[in-house]
Amino acid sequence: MRRLAFLFIGITLMPIPAWGAPAPKISKEELIKEELAKLEGTWEIVYYHRDGEEYSAEDLALLPKVLFKGDEFQYSLGGHVRKIYIDPTASPKTMDHGMGLECEKTIYVLDGDTFIQCMDVNGSAAKPRPKDFVVKGKERLLMKCKRVKE
């Protein structure tokens, strides 16, 4: 009987494999790579608010599409390709366009086929990055894009 009790205690104290073990931690570089892959493609601007003015449907139709490829973006009407630097671990997520004095410091949300971005108007390296997506009463640009299905 004593042996049986020790056997029972020994079995109950044995380590049990974790069924709901957490997924292995992903490096920041891997998260950036995954986020850039999610951004890749063509995006249509469906909402645009700048300097306290919300653009009409007619004005939105005149805006270029946004094209992301790898760690670069440009507008569909041409212009130069700009390098982007993202931090998907920040809260809110951050994206910088360009470098040096021409750098625009933005925050963004990427949710499936919806991309929202906010920045100070006439953004530059000297301007602080927005901490929220509030545009009312502030010199900010807020744009919402939908992925173009190709």
Tell me if residue 70 falls in helix, strand or coil. coil
Cα–Cα distance measured from residue 85 to residue 39, given in angstroms and rounded to the nearest whole number? 12
Q: What is the DSSP letter of 64?
A: P
Residues 97-113, mean pLDDT to the nearest whole number: 86
Residue 48 half-sphere exposure toward CB, CA atoms < 13 A? 16
The answer to whether residue 7 scores a pLDDT higher than 50 is: no
Q: Which DSSP helix (H) or strand (E) runs through 83?
A: strand 78-87
Q: Please, are residues 122 and 137 in contact by the beta-carbon 8 Å criterion?
A: no
Cα–Cα distance measured from residue 3 to residue 123, given in angstroms and rounded to the nearest whole number? 76
Tell me: the pLDDT tens digits for 115-140? Answer: 999 998 865 567 788 999 998 777 88
Tell me: the pLDDT tens digits for 55-102? Answer: 999 999 999 999 999 999 998 887 788 899 999 999 999 999 876 667
CA dist 7 → 14, 15, 66 (Å): 11, 15, 67
CA dist 116 → 15, 20, 29, 89, 94 (Å): 47, 34, 22, 16, 11
Q: Is the dihedral of CA 133, 85, 125, 143 positive or negative?
A: negative
Q: Please, are residues 35 and 86 in contact by the beta-carbon 8 Å criterion?
A: yes
Fold held by 27-147? Lipocalin (2.40.128)
**Chain centroid offset of residue 93 CA:** 5
- The whole-model pTM stands at 0.79
